[in-house]
Structure 1
C-alpha cells in the first residue's frame, strides 16, 4: 500500500534534481504535478524567486506549504558545480534564515527542552569530529594550505542577492558598514575578507572584491578550511553566513549583522536583535537542534535516510578524495589492467595521465603541476617526492593476481606501509591514535565486529575451513617470497620453509597449521614449499582455505610479515612476528624480529585498527562508483559472490603464472 503523501510542485528544479526527488520520496512524499486538494502539500524551494507560484496555489487550494532547502552539510562542491546534496531541510513553518516568523528550527530552539544527555553528548563529540576533519557545508578546499598569520579579524562575504540576505534586509551598504565596524573596533588588526565558495568558483559574485583590499585588508579568494581561519582569528564578523554558525562551534562569539537562525541565543553579538529569542543556549544545544533534530540526511551508497554520523563518514571519504585528486595525477609504471580501476578511483576530478618512463612522468608532473604516483613495489627507492600506491587491507573478493579489481588502495606520500626502512603515513597515523576520540573508538569497535562477523580478510577467497581440533593451534601463513614486504621487512627468515622450520623448532608440541599464500597456490607467484618439507614441520597444510573462517579456530599466528598477523590481532589472537610488519613494534605483538626503534607509541588494538582500516586507505564503491567509507566496502564484500573472470582474464592470469619469477613485468 502506497502511503506517500502527495507533494505538488511548480518549480523545474524539483523535476531536474534526482537526488532531491529521491530524498523527498524516502521522507514519505510523492512529487506530483497538478493541483492539490485540501490536506495535500505544495513544495517550494526556500524563498527562491519562483516560490510565489507555490505559495499562491497552496493558499488558494488550502494546502500545506513545505519549504525545501539544502541541509547545513551539503556536499564537496556546491550544487552549481554539480554535486547533489547529502541532506535536506523540510520546513512546514518557514525558512531558517528568515526571522520574520518562526520556522521549525526556531520552534525547536525555543520550546524543545534540549536536555537529553545522550543527545548533547553526541552533539559535543560530533562538533569535535567536524572540526578535526575540517568538514563544512562545502568542502572543496585543501587542509594543507597555510592560513594567514594569526591575530586577524575575519569578515565573511556572501553571494550577491542571496535569499538569506534579502530576509535580513542586507545589501551592499550593510556589508560595507560591517567592514567599517570591523576596522573601527579593531584598528590595529589586519582584516581578512573570506570569499564565498561559489564566488571562488566563479558561479556567483560577492559583495567584496579586490577593490576593497588595502594595506591592512586582504581579500582571501582561495579555497581554505574555515576551521583553519577560525583558529587564527581574534574576531569574526558576518551578516548571516553559515560560517557564523561554524564560528560558534569553533569557540567564537561572532558579530552578527543579519538575523540568521543561530543569532539571538546568547552565542553571538547581535547588531540586529530578533524579537522573541530570549532563551540562552549552549553550543551543543544549538548544534543538536540544527544538525541532528532539524534536517533529514541521506546515504547515497545504501539509498536510504540516515543519521548525521553516516553523512560525516561520507563527507570525510569524498572530501579526502577531492583533496588528494583535484590537482590531477601522473601515474608511472601502472600495468594496463590496473589503469581503468585507478582512473575510477583517482581520476574523478581530472583524468590520470599514464606514463611508462619515470623521467617523463616526473617532467609531466612538474609541467602540469600534478602529483606523481607510482606503484610502490615497482619503485621502492626514489630520490624525489612521489605518492606510492598499493592494495588496501580489505581489497576484494578474489586475488589481485587473477586481475580482480581492488575496492581499496593506499596512497602514501612518505613511504609505504610494508617497508620499515623509512617512516610511512600509516606509521604516523598509528602513532597518533594513542588518544582517540570516543566516537572514533566506537566506530573502530563497530568496524571490528563487522569485519569479524562477516569473516572478512584481504582477499576473501577460498573454502570454509574444516574443523580443527586440539590445543595450541598455531597458524603459519605462507607468503610470496619475492614480495616487496619480504624483501624489505622479513629480517633473517625470508622463506616459507625457513619460517615453518623455525616455528616447529620453537613449538615442538603445538599443532602447526600451514596455509600457503593463495597466489602461490595458484602458481602465480614464488614461494611453494615441497610436500616433503611441509610434512616435516606442519601437522596440516590448509590449501584453498578462507582465512576468515580459519582464524576463528586457531590460537596463535607466527609470521614473517603477513597481513594475516594483523587480521589475527583483530580477533584477539596472539601474534608472533619474525620480521617487521606495520603492526609490529607497538606493544601488541611478540616480536622476534627487529621492528624500527622509532615505533615508541603504545596504541591499543582499536587505535591500530582505526589507523589501518579507517584513516589510511582510500575506498571505492563499485555500485555507485563513488569514494566511500570503509563500512560501505565491508557491506559490498559481505554481499558479493567471488568475482567471475572472463576468459581473457584467466588467460592473462596463467601468463602471469608462467612469468612468476618476473613479477615486475606484470605487477
Structure 2
C-alpha cells in the first residue's frame, strides 16, 4: 500500500519482518547484551488473557504499576521521545503499513499532531518522505516507551507491541491494528499476558529460571546504575591495571568511556558534552579547575565499600566503584552525593530498608568485608573485662588527610584511645596495605605496645569487630564494618558514617538521625557501582557478596610481582 498526498503517490509496498520482544528486557552494557527473558506461548497468552485467573491478573497489575512508577520495561534506557501532549502515536511494522496508518490517521484527524514511531531504522528512512509531506513527525530507532505514550492522546499499534502495553498500563487509549483486537481486555489481563503467562525469565548471574518480579528488581538496579554513569565520556587518571574493570563498570548502551590523559580527556568530554570521570587521588594537579573552565562536569571516582577479594595496593582490580559529581565522600568540607543521598527520602523507603536489613544479615553471616570474605580461624578474645580494637590506617590516605580531625598518625590515635580507655585491653590492627609493604603508616610493634596490649594481624576485620566491645577508628571503613556487626564504634575523624547517631563521635559534628538500614541502603545499595567478576555485568551488591564468598581466582603475574615488591620493601624497612 502507498500513500497519496496532494495528488502524489508516496511510499512503496515494502514490509518488514518484526520480532516481538518481551516487555522486561535488559539493556546492553557495551558489547555485553544480557538475556533475561524470552517469549513463551505469547500468542496463546494474548488470546487467552481475558480468561486469566483473578489472582494472576492482580499479581500482574501490581507488577505493571511498579514498572510505571519506576519507568521500567521496553528500551527504558533509550533516549526520550519528547512528544507534545495530545499527539496520535502510530507504531507501524513496515513502510507499507506505515503509509496505511498515516493515511488512516489523517482521515480521522481533527488537527492533532501525528507521530510515527519506527523502531527499525532500516525502513524508517523510507518513511521520512511520506511523513514530511503529511506534516507528521517521524521518530526512527528505539525510544523510552514511557516517553512515547505518556503524552499521547491515542496509540495505534499491534496487539503484541509492548508499547501498546505501556499505553494501556497508564490508561492511554489504544486502537488495535492487525488480526488481533484486544479492546475487550483490561489492563490487568494485558499485564498478565505481557509479563507473566507469555514470558519465561532467567537470572543472568546464575543462569537459573526466576520470576518476573526478580527481573523487575534487577532492571530497577540497572536503571539506577545507568543513571549514575550517564554521560561519562572519558576517564582520567586510571591506572592501567584497573582500566578494564573501570571500563566494564561504566559501560553503557552507547559503549564504554575512553581512557585518556589530561588534555585529550578534557577535549573529548567537552566535544561530546559529557562527563569526565577521574580517580580522585590520581587527578592531575589543577584538573578540577581546568574542567570547570572548560565547562566539563567532573566526577570523582573511588573504590567502593565492598571492593574485591584482595587489596587495591596489591593490584587486585576493583569490583566496586563510587562516582560522585559533587565531591569525594571522605572530604567533610563538601556535601558529596553520598551525603545528600543519606539525607534524602530515598533511603527511608520501606522496601529498600527491608532489602538493606537482609544485606546486613548476609554480610554478617558470610563474614564479608571490603576486601572479601574472612576465611581465617575465629579470633580468641583476651580474657579481659573490656576489649577494644584500634584500627590503623595508611597515614597519607586521602580520607586521613581530609578528615583526620587533627590526629597525627596511628601512634597518636593509639595514645588518644589509651587516654579514653585507661583500663581496657587494647588491640591494634595494622592496615593490610601497610603490612604488605605497599603504603606508609607502619608503626614498630614496640612503639605500639607503649599504648596497646596486643598487635593483631589476623583474623580479618569482620571476625575481629564481632569479638570486641568497641572499635576506635580515625576514618577507616573498619568502623562501618563494625557497625554492620553490631559493635559500638568511636570515631576520631570524619568518616562518612559518623554524625548520624550510630557512632560516638569525637570530631565529627552531628548530621541528623539515621538508622543502620538506612545508612546501608545509601552506602551499599544506592551509591556504589558493582561488577560481577564472572559475567562482567553490573550487578546488585547481593550478587557481589555471593561471588566474594567463592574461592578467589589465583593472583595474576602482576599481583604476584607486586606482592614480592611489598615484601622487599617491608624487609628493607625492618632492617632500617
Instruction: Compute the TM-score of the two structures, normalised by the length of structure 1.
Output: 0.71
Instruction: After TM superposition, give the deviation of residue 518 of structure 1 in Å.
Output: 0.6
Shift of 1:297: 0.5
Aligned to 2:450: 536
Q: Does 1:265 align with 2:185?
A: yes
Which of 521, 524, 527 is equivalent to 1:616? 527
1:478 is matched with which residue?
Answer: 392
Q: Secondary structure at the match of 2:427?
A: strand
Q: Deviations over 1:215-254 (max 9, x none)?
A: 99654558654445656x27343323422322343x3343
Aligned equivalents of 1:487 and 1:146: distance in 2?
Answer: 47
Q: Confirm whether residue 342 of structure 1 aligns to residue 262 of structure 2.
A: no
Question: In the alignment, does 2:236 pair up with 1:332?
Answer: yes
Structure 1 Cα separation of the partners of residues 408 and 69 of structure 2: 41
Deviation at 1:556, TM superposition (A): 2.4
**Cα distance, 1:404–1:504 mapped onto 2, change above 3 Å:** same
Shift of 1:576: 2.2
Tell me whether 1:193 sits opposite 2:107 in the alignment: no
In 1: Cα distance, 2:105 partner to 2:528 partner: 44
> CA-to-partner distance for each residue in 1:460-511, whole Å, 9 max, x for gaps?
3763342215444322211111101111112122422222222222222333
Aligned 1:110-121 pairs, distance under 5 A: 110-114=51-55, 120=59
Asked if 1:353 corresponds to 2:258, the answer is yes
Cα drift, residue 651 of structure 1: 2.9
Runs of 5+ unmatched residues, structure 1: 1-47, 51-67, 97-102, 268-282, 661-667
- The more displaced of 548-557 and 316-325 is 316-325
2:271 aligned partner: 367
User: What per-residue deviation string (whole Å, max 9, x for no partner) do you get for residues 341-367 of structure 1?
Assistant: 3233335754543333x2332123223
Aligned-residue offset at 1:591: 2.2
Contact 2:71 2:146 in 1 (8 A): yes
User: Structure 1 residues 104 and 510, CA, compared in 2 at 3 Å: closer, same or farther?
Assistant: same
> Secondary structure at the residue paired with 1:537?
coil
- Report the equivalent of 1:8: none
Say yes or no: does 1:252 pair with 2:191: no
Q: Which residue of 1 aligns with 2:353?
A: 441
TM-score when normalising by structure 2:
0.81
**Structure 1 residues 425, 111: CA separation in 2 closer, same or farther (over 3 Å shift)?**
same
Name the counterpart of 2:213.
Answer: 309
Measured after TM superposition, the shift of residue 82 of structure 1 is 8.3
Is residue 89 of structure 2 the alignment partner of residue 156 of structure 1?
Answer: yes
1:369 Cα deviation after fit? 4.7
Quick one: which of 379, 387, 390 aligns to 1:466? 379
Distance, in Å, in 1 between the alignment partners of 2:428 and 2:134 is 72
Q: Which residue of 1 aligns with 2:40?
A: 90
Question: Could you list the runs of 5+ residues in structure 2 that have no partner in the other structure?
Answer: 1-15, 571-576
Matched with 1:412 is: 324
> Residues of 2 paired with 1:146 and 1:511: CA distance?
65
In the alignment, structure 1 residue 75 sits paired with structure 2 residue 31: no
Contact 1:389 1:410 in 2 (8 A): yes
Report Cα offsets for 1:534-593 as digits up to 9, x if no partner. Answer: 223323321143112222212322211111122222223322222221122233323222
Report the alpha carbon displacement of residue 208 of structure 1 after superposing the two structures with TM.
Answer: 6.3
Q: Structure 1, residues 145-184: CA drift from partner, whole Å, max 9, x if none? A: 7956xx712443424249xxx9xxx764335434665x53
Q: Is the aligned partner of 1:452 residue 2:357? A: no
Check whether the contact 1:160–1:204 (CA below 8 A) recurs between aligned residues.
no
| Aligned positions of 1:54-69 closer than 5 A | none
Structure 1 match to 2:71: 134
**1:128-158: CA deviation from partner (whole Å, max 9, x where unpaired):** 543454322223325xx7956xx71244342
CA contact 2:303–2:320 (8 Å) conserved in 1:
yes
Query: 8 Å contact 2:414–2:448 — kept in the other structure?
Result: yes
Aligned to 1:509: 423
2:335 aligns with one of 419, 423, 426? 423
Whose RCO is larger (CA < 8 A, sep 6+)? 2
How far apart are 1:403 and its partner, in Å? 0.7
Question: In structure 2, which of residues 299, 314, 326 is the aligned counterpart of residue 402 of structure 1?
Answer: 314
